[in-house]
Amino acid sequence: MNIGGIKMMTENKDQKPLISVALLVSSELEDEGLLKVIRDLNDMVSCCHRIVHDIADVESIVTCQWEQVEVVIMMLTNTIVEATVKVFHQNLPDVPIVVVAKEPLHWSAIARLLDNGVKGLTGSMRASVIVSMVRLAYYRSGGVDAELMRHLLDVIEQEGDGQRVARLTALDYQIWTLMVNGFSNPQISQYCGISVSQTKHHVNNIFKHLGVHDRAHAIMLYDTPEPVVLEPSITGSQN
């Protein structure tokens, strides 16, 4: 998606900052009330409003006036919000993003969103809360609303690293250790004497219990890697 340069600020007649907002919303979460509130404010203007069904819709949006966008609001389902945020951050790295998460987000997903340009994060569907997040994001303050933060802290307290690791079987833990030491799935399969399909099943099980979606994040949660010597007979391409 090729997007032009960004105009960082415009002004209204009273010389107050006028925030140009783009709203991307899933069809099932569409809220015309929020759009009306934005249009009625004297410090904001809606320059783009698009319904998003899947990530393909995001990649094909070309009709918005991206050179005027100063804050992007995303009211999307969890299935596409991370991918959408990543696409926008890659193309509009200087434009802050506000995510409205109607569905609960895992703490690791929140961390990835914040790493990809999200400056405002709220679980509230109230227009006043979302508008406040837009203002904070515009002035580069950013924020996570109190309700979402309390939920996040509760999850972390109830599901600490130790409890997540405790759910792993002995074989899961061994495979996790091999992953940390750079073993590919075929190498793990040979080392543990199981099939590659069984290895993939255990790897996915590890991801599930650790609350991550890929090897890199699983490795980050492993505190003290135990060195494993790869026997010469165990070979295999990375998978």
Q: Give the CATH number of domain 10-156.
A: 3.40.50.2300
b/e code 140-166 from CB counts within 10 Å (16+ = b)? eeebbbeebeebbeebeeeeeeeebbe
How far are the Cα atoms of 52, 97, 160, 179, 186 from residue 216, in angstroms, in the given order?
29, 24, 19, 9, 18
pLDDT in tens, 4-43: 333 333 444 445 578 888 888 887 766 667 888 888 888 8
Residues 6+ apart with CB under 8 A from 92: 3, 6, 66, 69, 72, 117
Domain with CATH 1.10.10.10 in the chain: 162-220
What's the whole-number mean pLDDT along residues 78-86?
Answer: 84
| pLDDT above 80 for 55 | no
- Of 71, 90, 63, 66, nearest to 4 by C-alpha is 66
Dihedral of the alpha carbons of 70, 76, 82, 86, in degrees to the nearest 10: -30
> d(Cα 65, Cα 133) in Å, to the nearest integer?
22
Q: What is the pLDDT of residue 103?
A: 76
Q: How confident is the model at residue 197 (pLDDT cuts 50, 70, 90)?
A: very high
| pLDDT above 60 for 1 | no
Contacts for 156-165 with beta carbons within 8 Å, 24 or more apart? 156/107, 159/211, 161/221, 164/209, 164/210, 164/211, 164/221, 165/209, 165/210
Q: What is the pLDDT of residue 4?
A: 37
Domain with CATH 3.40.50.2300 in the chain: 10-156
Average pLDDT in the chain: 75
Q: How confident is the model at residue 194 (pLDDT cuts 50, 70, 90)?
A: very high
Identify the helix (H) or strand (E) that includes residue 97.
Answer: strand 97-100
pLDDT in tens, 132-166: 888 888 887 767 766 666 666 565 555 555 555 65
Q: Give the CATH number of domain 162-220.
A: 1.10.10.10
Q: What is the pLDDT of residue 160?
A: 52
60 vs 188 pLDDT, higher one: 188
